[in-house]
């Protein structure tokens, strides 16, 4: 899979399982119960988080989160699969939650790997609800 396949974040220098563990630990720390599954065809990890402990920083649109992680050359890629829509009233809180998750993952990967690994945003970082909001080109007809 390439960068145009919906990657939200990528990591270089550590594997998919370890990266999935960091994300699962973070979600658990902010009130989610996390179910993790692994598959071999295709080779990927899936995380499903359900908000169990109320957290005012988490908008209602984020009560259930789903992610898919797959290996890449030298690391792993993280795809945000759900939610696919965010209510307008939740948008600013969801954007903040996304930034906090990204910052946490960058910090933990950097410190746990002794600065040998890093989290990077693909050229075209993708969140499912952001693509729905992109303006369409006008119809030439």
Domains of the chain: 7-130 (3.30.310)
CA distance 27 to 30: 5
pLDDT digit string (tens) for 38-96? 888 888 999 999 999 888 888 888 999 999 999 988 899 999 998 888 888 888 888 89
Give the mean pLDDT of 17-37: 93
User: Residue 141: what pLDDT?
Assistant: 47
What span, in angstroms and rounded, lies between the C-alpha atoms of 78 and 110? Answer: 17
Q: Distance (Å, rounded) from C-alpha 69 to C-alpha 85?
A: 20
Which residues share a beta bridge with 129? none
Of 61-65, 105-109, 127-131, the range with the lowest mean pLDDT is: 127-131
Count other C-beta atoms under 10 Å from residue 92's C-beta: 11
Between strands 75-82 and 118-120, the pairing is: unpaired
d(CA 126, CA 130): 7
pTM over cut 0.85: no
For the segment 115-119, the average pLDDT, to the nearest whole number, is 84
Higher pLDDT residue, 93 or 125?
Answer: 93
Q: What percent of the chain has pLDDT over 70?
A: 88
Question: Residue 5's pLDDT band (boundaries 50, 70, 90)?
Answer: low
**DSSP SS3 for 34:** strand
Encoded tokens for 138: 């006008």
């Amino acid at each position: 899979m390439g960068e145009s396949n919906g990657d939200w974040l990528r990591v270089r220098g550590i594997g998919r399982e370890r990266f999935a563990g960091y994300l699962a630990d973070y979600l658990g720390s902010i009130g989610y119960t996390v179910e993790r599954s692994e598959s071999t065809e295709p080779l990927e990890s899936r995380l499903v988080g359900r908000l169990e402990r109320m957290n005012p920083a988490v908008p209602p649109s984020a009560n259930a989160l789903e992610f898919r992680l797959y290996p890449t050359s030298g690391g792993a890629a993280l795809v945000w699969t759900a939610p696919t829509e965010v209510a307008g009233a939740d948008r600013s809180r969801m954007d903040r939650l996304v930034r906090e998750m990204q910052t946490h993952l960058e910090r933990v990967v950097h410190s746990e790997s002794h600065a040998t690994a890093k989290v990077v945003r693909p050229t075209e970082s993708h969140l499912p609800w952001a693509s729905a909001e992109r303006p369409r080109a006008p119809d030439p007809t």
